[in-house]
Structure 1
């Protein structure tokens, strides 16, 4: 038995350079809490945004980063696996081994366009392409305003392919008091769509 067998499920989490680092941090924490093994794809632009928005400066070396994230999110050994843009032989790059579920959070409109057009210029795009061709569950979470006609057309293309397009637009009926409450609203919606049990946010009329 390998250490992979100790986790309930595998999932791919990709992070691009769109604004909204707090969403992905809360989402990653929630996936770890739910005992999922996470393949983490972090773009260079995402690291810059993370540093700008959250004042977090993560290690550059992958070996150090994996250990850092285990401690940062109280994860089990091997629960968070960071992949680089050059890891073309990683499980997420192949339909025979990639997790059946993937989230892109936050998703830049550039990444959204590349996925909609079937490009595979980097590992994030390739991983999304794999999930699409294998008829898996792909959720993209764009954060942009306003959306151009091009953005909307790309979202329609993805929606027609079965992708869940979930813009980072939290509701307010739960009377949020903090930014974390708004982040939890969106994370809860993602987990609901992936059938992952949670007690993060109240539901309508609760």
Structure 2
């Protein structure tokens, strides 16, 4: 053993071995440090990417929430519009039914007033006829006049206008007691008012 240690060729070998071990340790330490630095850099980049992804995810979630809120508001407005449309259709139907019933009532009333007017006119005509007959009996008969013979030549200077003979002119006493029936004027006024109302309703 002592001889091996005293061998002059062993010393350089030991020195070379120790130098190799030292360099290997240093290289391993440097390599480990570099590896840790690279790993830290990769981890940092990964964290940054993860943070950016989380931010994008949060932004998308906020946008989705906003879209859902807008959708809910849209659905609410749509429901309100549908309700208003339905109510408007119902009101239109009610107004149409009311107008139809009103027009039917006005037509019936107009027909009734026309019948009343016709009856009043007939009664008035009958009354006027009766008064005319009475006046005819009370007035004297017209005297017949014999026409003068005409010749081929006539002189206009001898023309005298014909005059009613005495007693043929109707007197005021003959129309005494006769007055227009006020119901006729009322019926005509009511009929005109109903016609105007029906025309306005049709417009």
- Tell me the TM-score range normalised by the shorter chain: under 0.3
Counting helix residues as a fraction of each chain, which structure ranks higher? 2
Counting strand residues as a fraction of each chain, which structure ranks higher? 1
Report which structure shows greater RCO (CA 8 Å, sep ≥6): 2
Report which of the two structures shows the higher radius of gyration computed on alpha carbons: 2
* TM-score normalised by the chain length of structure 2: 0.13
